[in-house]
Structure 1
Amino acid sequence: MGIIDRALLQSAEGKLPTMLDRLRVLVNCESPSNDSARLEACASLLQPWLSAAVGRAVRLERVGENVHLLAEAENPKVLVLGHFDTVWPVGTTAGWPFSITNGIATGPGTFDMKAGIVQAIAAIELLADSSHVSVLLTSDEEVGSTTSRKLIEEQARRAGAVLVCEPSADGGAVKTGRKGIANYRVEITGKAAHAGLEPELGINAGVELAHQILAISSLADSETSVTPTVLAAGTTVNTVPESALCAVDARSWTTSGLERVDRAMAALAPCLLGAKVTVSGGIDRPPFEEPIARSLYAEAAAAAHELGLAPLQAVRSGGGSDGNVTAAIGVQTLDGLGAVGGHPHARSEHVEVNVNRTPIRTI
């Protein structure tokens, strides 16, 4: 490892106290996806940190009720992408505040993905020239990126390469592929009747739903998962159910897999005479297929080697991110460059506070 590399690592290590202070403030600034006021407060907190890092103005981009944070470079070579919304409701920090014990930081949103934002800002501060780096931090990733998707695509195309600071995989591995995601709602309409006196006059929506669940589950294969999740039917214990519904989560490593499921879901037909099946929804995030990450992964792996770090591992992930969006439009994308830790969306969510595990020179 050369003198420059050693100095870079030392500079990065020296930022740890500031990073932890920022992480504490950011985690305790609660920002659930459905609370526009809290999201704006979080964006306002991040704005001066990011502006100081890139050395230029950072603007709030308003789309509907959502606000996103954009540091747009004039001639970008890379877009650093992340989100500051979390799945945790307001008040969670009252019983679970940010804390660090034995080198483990915990708190709502610590791992997914407020630590990644803090790391990204610190990495940009290490650059001699940040004029080629655009940064976009969004406020609706956890709920499908509906208001931010156009902005993500625009900025990704301008830059031509995207680094996503979502949490890393186990041990700090980056993510070079993600399953695409489709979501569906299946609604069944039957006919109510007295369950004891004359059930034969009814059309049991619950029974029809059972038939549909079996048909839906059979769509899965080795590359594609199709999972009925939320289920509901009926109103009272002595009435033939008049209505029923089912939510379906489908994920696939390939676009063709998602499209196959989409066609099959649209073609669902009732099994019981007189029942009605209505399907809504569709493909939400296209797959992030591995070839789009190869060149950026090679650069990141070479940088880790230069810095004397452990070989950089790469995995595919079943979870989705905005990396799916940028990869699907053909822009080079490398994901999972954020914190090392585990258990996103769980009370055991945590980040390892360790300065020697994760590559930092990827920008």
Structure 2
Amino acid sequence: MNAHNLPFDSNRMLDGLRPWIECESPTFDAAAVSRMMALAAADLVEAGAHVETIPGTGGFGDSIRATFPHPDQGKPGILVSGHMDTVHPLGTLEKLPFRVADGKAWGPGIMDMKGGNYVFLEAMRQILKAGIQTPLPVTFLFTPDEEVGTPATRGLIEDHARNQRAVLLPEPASPDGGAVIGRYAIARFNLLTKGRPSHAGWALKDGRSAIAAMARRIPQIEGMTTEDCTFSVGVIHAGQWVNCVSSECHAEVLSMAKRQEDLDRGVAAMLDLQGEEDGTDFIVTRGVTRPVWEPQPGTMALYEIAKGIAAEIGFDLNAGSAGGGSDGNFTGAMGVPTLDSIGVRGKGLHTLDEHIQIDSLAERARLAAGLLTRIA
């Protein structure tokens, strides 16, 4: 029996996925993410896995590692790598509740990427239930900090990926339903302007506003964007009392480039902006970076397997490189065969319209089961 013909039922899968969606897990709430990990761990154990909890570090939640019974356990195999953190703060369920309508299901994190993670769990559940032995041992690694660049668990992911035959990432599918076989480079920067405080009412002219200084820098930074390297200011924090001229302003920048050399030039340009201007200091520090992942023969071989399975299921699976980072940047850049964005179909990730196509749950579970039983 071909594994992709196992009895996958989208509606039954949605019932199992719902508790995951209603367990909110924003990256910056370590306890919330750890609750989500515990929920996933219980489902993995029920599916037949041995699960270990890896305590969180750096202020982030726990990770979990699940291994499935296999005579070659411990030897090179398949790593399913996913994250359980979301960009949605606690309370988002009030604005974006789990709901179903017109063949779609909504909820925070349902597309990015709890839906895909659940799909692969269900694939392994059905494989084991059918008594099918995967050619290679399978390990799941779910981590808590991908949405902020994976500062705490990059090493953990790389250690688990090293020497594996394949890494599969159930990130959401591309808009056309396709997979990702390469990703652009990503760099983050932390910005700080330091001003001179004063009373905003009777001594305004004595102050130098850190907020105003940052405001002048934003168009300068975003104006550096080219076709080869983009810059976007996405976070700003400053001020506590409106009657005080601000002394500090913090901001964060995301930069993306298709080639490493373009990103390197962008990094140099950002660092060159530092200095003093009109009594305020501007300080730029480098944050986490995702390296360029370029398609390699091992990844292309994985894609050909996936493309063939998709054709048997009844859909075309395109592939290409993509902007937007993932943990596939790390494993792909290591040279480990990596296939990314083979999770659910949907739209609106990172927004209050985040939803999936319900029938893509079974479609992608069939693809997952095919991959897990054919990669050798």
**TM-score range relative to shorter protein:** 0.7 to 0.9
Counterpart mapping for 1:101-112 below 5 A: 101-112=101-112
- State the partner residue of 2:50: 57
Q: Alpha carbons of 1:186 and 1:126: their partners in 2 closer, same or farther (altered >3 Å)? A: same
Q: Which moved more, 1:20-29 or 1:30-39?
A: 30-39
SS at match of 2:50: coil
Partner Cα distance (1:17, 1:234) in 2: 48
Partner Cα distance (1:237, 1:43) in 2: 41
AA aligned opposite 2:62: V
AA aligned opposite 2:91: G
- State the partner residue of 1:344: 349
Q: Which moved more, 1:231-240 or 1:163-172?
A: 231-240
Q: Alpha carbons of 1:281 and 1:339: their partners in 2 closer, same or farther (altered >3 Å)? A: same
Q: Does 1:155 align with 2:160?
A: yes
**Distance apart, 1:325 and its partner CA:** 1.9
SS at match of 1:362: helix
**Distance apart, 1:58 and its partner CA:** 1.3
- State the partner residue of 1:77: 77
Q: Does 1:129 align with 2:133?
A: yes
2:284 to 272, 279, 282: 279
Q: Does 1:23 align with 2:27?
A: no
Partner Cα distance (2:237, 2:355) in 1: 34
2:63 to 68, 93, 96: 68
What does the per-residue CA deviation read over 1:48-74, in whole Å, with 9 as the maximum and x for residues that have no partner?
322344x44111111335211102442
SS at match of 2:6: helix
SS at match of 2:34: helix
SS at match of 2:232: strand
**Distance apart, 1:258 and its partner CA:** 1.8
- State the partner residue of 2:70: none
Counterpart mapping for 1:1-363 below 5 A: 4-5=1-2, 8-13=3-8, 15-53=9-47, 55-64=48-57, 66-72=61-67, 73-94=73-94, 96-127=96-127, 128-130=132-134, 132-191=137-196, 209=214, 212-230=217-235, 244-270=249-275, 272=277, 274-291=279-296, 293-305=299-311, 307-354=312-359, 357-358=363-364, 359-360=367-368, 361-363=370-372
Partner Cα distance (1:195, 1:94) in 2: 38
**Cα contact 2:276–2:282 (8 A) shared by 1:** no
Structure 2 unaligned residues grouped into runs of 5+: 68-72
**Cα contact 1:211–1:271 (8 A) shared by 2:** no
Q: Alpha carbons of 1:194 and 1:95: their partners in 2 closer, same or farther (altered >3 Å)? A: closer
Partner Cα distance (1:283, 1:81) in 2: 19
**What RMSD over aligned residues (CA atoms) do the two structures have, in Å?**
3.1
Structure 1 unaligned residues grouped into runs of 5+: none
**Cα contact 1:66–1:147 (8 A) shared by 2:** no
Partner Cα distance (2:91, 2:198) in 1: 44
Q: Which moved more, 1:264-273 or 1:334-343?
A: 264-273
Partner Cα distance (2:268, 2:87) in 1: 31
Partner Cα distance (1:235, 1:48) in 2: 43
TM-score (norm 2): 0.82
**Distance apart, 1:168 and its partner CA:** 0.7
**Distance apart, 1:139 and its partner CA:** 1.9
Q: Which moved more, 1:254-263 or 1:234-243?
A: 234-243
TM-score (norm 1): 0.84
Partner Cα distance (1:336, 1:9) in 2: 18
What does the per-residue CA deviation read over 1:330-355, in whole Å, with 9 as the maximum and x for residues that have no partner?
22211101111111111111111115
**Cα contact 1:184–1:249 (8 A) shared by 2:** yes
Partner Cα distance (2:243, 2:49) in 1: 67
User: Percent identity, aligned pairs only?
Assistant: 33
Partner Cα distance (1:87, 1:214) in 2: 25
**Cα contact 1:309–1:357 (8 A) shared by 2:** no
What does the per-residue CA deviation read over 1:303-345, in whole Å, with 9 as the maximum and x for residues that have no partner?
222x142221113332211111212222221110111111111
Q: Which moved more, 1:163-172 or 1:274-283?
A: 274-283
SS at match of 1:168: coil
Partner Cα distance (2:201, 2:46) in 1: 72
Q: Which moved more, 1:338-347 or 1:127-136?
A: 127-136
> How many equivalent pairs are there?
355
